[in-house]
Amino acid sequence: MPLPHQNVTAMVSLTGLALGCYNKATQNYEVALLRQPTHTLTIEVKKQLPGGVSRMIYQIADVQHRIFIDAENARVPEPEIFTAGETFDRNDTNHDPEDFRWVIDFEMDLNGKAEVNLKPPTVPVTEMYISKPQLYADTDLMTPDKYLLVQIDPQTNKPVPNQQAPEFGLFTEGIKADIMCQNGGAVILRVDGPQGFQVHLPHGSAKPHEIIIKNLCPPKVKSGDQGGGGGATTTTSPDDMKPTDFREFYSVIVDTDGKMFDLKETFDDERGEGAVCNGSTLGKRDSLFPLPTS
């Protein structure tokens, strides 16, 4: 049964280098935004007004800020994390596209359903907290084809030679969250820090307000690409793959199942982006913060 989105106060979308964890005790989705130097963290707010939409874009340039998406007089969603049915298969294209299990889970998918060990981050991290969300997969950011799970040698940062990389399947590169307030309530985007600010998004607008968070690198353009040419080709060998942003998650995760992985596309769609830059989650542990410091 599809999720009802029509009476939501605000819809939050998140993509890019982001690792999340739902804290049941605080009812917050805690997110570590990994500030890899080539990535830019932006927040776009679309506030519904009687005469139209007010659009605001903010860039968070440093790591001296924390981001809060607070909910005043909010309803606790049921369920907090949306899944459809008991079973889930990454190869089932008929499965509910909003099932949160389409989001890559470093614990449930890659670590035998056990908690991963975290380490002091080797890249700066911006903390973000989303209050009382209903979490689900971003259907607009589903991968068009399946990916392979490639084991990486941590000493060389290259694929383990001559491996038979198993098929990982499909996933979404985005996470979405609905926040539902009661009459008189509001969602408040609050950024704490030297250049802090807040945006008040009251309940009761004709359409949901939107908060769009992206922690992305700029798109890459293939050199010499004149357009046109051949169609998609299968490229299943991991030996010559280029590193993707997926490896950046191991800047805070020690390993998964004693190994380090990357994802390789089983196709070449000529987009030239050359990177998996997805929001991911931790489905076993109770909280993400505070991260280890030593």
DSSP states of 160-183? PTT--PPEEE--BSEEEEEE-EEE
Burial of 147 (0-12, 13-18, 19+ CB in 10 A): buried
Residue type at 39 in one-letter notation: H
- The pair of three-digit structure tokens given for residue 210, joined into one six-digit string: 């939107």
Q: Where are the alpha helices (DSSP H) in the chain?
A: none
C-alpha angle 151/155/157, rounded to 5°?
Answer: 55
Bridge-based pairing state of the strands 209-216 and 10-16: parallel
The closest of 81, 178, 66, 175 to 127, measured between CA atoms, is: 66
Q: In angstroms, what CA-CA distances link 69 with 27, 43, 177, 243?
A: 12, 11, 11, 33
pLDDT number for residue 241: 77
Which residues in 225-261 are b (16+ Cβ under 10 Å) and which e?
eeeeeeeeeeeeebeebeebbbbbbbbbbebbeeebb
Q: In angstroms, what CA-CA distances link 105 with 100, 135, 175, 179?
A: 10, 13, 12, 22
Low-confidence stretches of the chain (pLDDT beneath 70): 1, 219-240, 267-275
| Residue 209, beta-bridge partner list | 10
- The count of C-alpha atoms lying within 13 angstroms of the C-alpha of 186, restricted to the half-sphere facing its C-beta, is 11
Which residues in 38-74 are b (16+ Cβ under 10 Å) and which e?
ebebebebbbbeeeeeeeeebebeeeebbbbbbbbeb
Phi, psi angles (nearest 5°) of residue 79: -85, 165
Cis, bond preceding 202 (omega within 30 deg of 0):
no
Please give the model's pTM, rounded to 2 decimal places. Answer: 0.90
Q: Is 262:246 a contact under the CB 8 Å cutoff?
A: yes
pLDDT number for residue 217: 84
pLDDT number for residue 218: 73
Phi, psi angles (nearest 5°) of residue 245: -65, -10
Q: Is 178:209 a contact under the CB 8 Å cutoff?
A: no
Q: In what order do the strands lie in the sheet with 209-216?
A: 52-59, 40-49, 209-216, 10-16, 174-179, 134-137
